[in-house]
Amino acid sequence: MSGKFIVFEGVEGSGKTTQIQQIQSWLQRCRLLDPATRIVTTREPGGTALGQQLRQILLQSTDDLIQDRTELLLYAADRAQHVEAYLKPLLAAGAIVLCDRYTDSTVAYQGYGRQLDQILIEQLNQIATGGLVSDLTFWLDVEVELGLERAQGRAAHDRIERADLSFHRRVQQGFTQLAAAHPQRIVRIDASLSPEAVSQQIQQVLQARLQDWYGIEFA
Ligand code: Z5A
């Protein structure tokens, strides 16, 4: 595949949505990139029409009794559709895709948070992705309490946001372990700083990667 797949991960309120928007416009302004390169944003769950329906079920359902394995399978179904119908064609056409959450979220939320079997999760991730791994993943690392405080500024809280603090702490532990296990793929960003300072860190890492990937020389 000739495009690049860049994922943003982290606990609730870590600033993924904010940063994806900032980085999309920074990349669009980056005159060193071929102007024909599409810079696309997407998310999981909900990156396709079917995924939107799954997202509704997963997050907006008032039924807190969705079973943990059911939840896992719904995220996997969303991902399988997203990869085949959306990500693969875009990457094959050379796009740079910025994606809000991917397989590491399943490891962190369903593996560490819900404490489902990690081998089962790895197998499902493999089935759902057909082996598509990110070229680069930014882990926006913020204290769970600060992230939740930011997220709670919003009016409505979804099923996962309503989970107890120990759940969110396990999720954070999951991201910490993943970053330690995959130092080449996952880059930690200090997301407790201002949005501008967080963006600066991401841009610095991206400049080096764009140089490697496309031979672009930044001044
Ligand atoms: N999930 C899962 O369990 N398993 C999976 O496999 C996958 C997902 C793929 C997706 O919900 C849920 O699905 C998620 C995990 C689960 N859990 N929950 N809930 P979502 O997409 O609706 O929510 P999210 O991914 O957690 O995003 P979020 O809560 O919207 O947070 P965010 O995108 O990281 O942050 P933000 O929207 O950019 O910022 C949140 C607020 O903070 C906002 O008011 C900003 O203005 C503010 N903000 C942002 N950055 C800063 C900084 N740097 N300083 C101060 N304030 C800031």
Per residue of the chain (219 residues), what is the pLDDT tens digit?
Answer: 589 999 999 999 999 999 999 999 999 998 888 899 999 999 999 999 999 999 999 998 776 689 999 999 999 999 999 999 999 999 999 999 999 999 999 999 999 999 999 999 999 999 999 999 999 999 999 999 999 999 987 756 677 777 789 999 999 999 999 999 999 999 999 999 999 999 999 999 999 999 999 998 887
Burial of 103 (0-12, 13-18, 19+ CB in 10 A): buried
pLDDT confidence of residue 29:
92
* pTM: predicted TM-score of the whole model, two decimal places: 0.96
Q: Which residues contact 68 (CB under 8 A, 6 or more apart)?
A: 110, 114, 116
- Domain topology for 4-214: Rossmann fold (3.40.50)
158 lines ligand 1 (CB under 6 A): yes
Helices 118-129/68-82 angle, 10° precision:
20
**Residue of 9, 16, 60 with the most ligand 1 atoms within 8 Å of its CB, for mutation:** 16
For ligand 1, whether the C-beta of 105 sits within 6 Å is yes
| Confidence at residue 157, expressed as pLDDT on a 0 to 100 scale | 67
Instruction: Look up residue 123 and give its two tokens.
Output: 């197998």
**Cα 2 off chain centre by:** 20
In short, whether 80's Cβ falls inside 6 Å of ligand 1 is: no
Q: How far is the CA of 71 from the centre of ligand 1 (A)?
A: 18
Q: Given ligand 1 and candidates 52, 69, 101, which is best to mutate, with the most ligand atoms within 8 Å of its CB?
A: 101
Question: pLDDT value at position 100?
Answer: 98
Q: Is 197 in the pocket of ligand 1 (CB under 6 A)?
A: no
Give the distance (Å) from ligand 1 centre to CA of residue 214. Answer: 30
Does residue 106 line the site of ligand 1, with CB under 6 A? yes
* Cα–Cα distance, 71 to 173 (Å, whole number): 20
Contact 9, 140 (CB under 8 A): yes
